[in-house]
Amino acid sequence: MTEDAALPAAGASDTSTGGSSRRRSVLLFLRDVALIIIAALLISFIIKTFLIRSFYIPSPSMSDTLIEDDRIIVNQLVPDLVPLERGDVVVFKDPGSWLPAQPEAPQPPLIAAAEWVGSLVGLAAPDSDEHLVKRLIGLPGDRIVCCNDLGQMSVNGVPLDEPYIRDAGTGGPASSQDFQIDVPEGTLWVMGDNRGNSSDSRIHGTVPISDVVGRAVVVSWPLDRWTWLDNYPLVFDGVDEAGAAPRAR
Condensed to tens digits (0 to 9), the pLDDT of residues 52-89 reads 888 999 999 999 999 999 999 999 999 999 999 999 99
Q: How far apart are CA 2 and CA 46, in angstroms?
A: 69
Is residue 138 domain-resident? yes
Residue 77, SS3? Answer: coil
29 and 122, same domain (yes or no): no
- What is the reported pLDDT for 24? 82
40 and 59, same domain (yes or no): no
92 and 30, same domain (yes or no): no
Is residue 247 domain-resident? no
Domains in the chain, number: 2
Looking at 87-91, 171-175, 180-184, which range is the least confident one? 171-175
Distances (CA, A) of 91 to 7, 18, 120, 188: 77, 59, 19, 12
Is residue 151 domain-resident? yes
21 and 66, same domain (yes or no): no
36 and 59, same domain (yes or no): no
34 and 140, same domain (yes or no): no
93 and 213, same domain (yes or no): yes
32 and 105, same domain (yes or no): no
- What is the reported pLDDT for 47? 61
173 and 92, same domain (yes or no): yes
198 and 164, same domain (yes or no): yes
186 and 89, same domain (yes or no): yes
pLDDT mean over 15-29: 76
Is residue 160 domain-resident? yes
Is residue 103 domain-resident? yes
CATH number at residue 164: 2.10.109.10
Q: How far apart are CA 237 and CA 241, in angstroms?
A: 8
Which of 67, 30, 48 has the alpha carbon at shortest distance from 116? 48
Confidence (pTM): 0.74
155 and 173, same domain (yes or no): yes
Is residue 249 domain-resident? no
Is the confidence at residue 248, as pLDDT, over 70?
no
**Domain extent for 127:** 53-242
Is residue 2 domain-resident? no
Is residue 99 domain-resident? yes
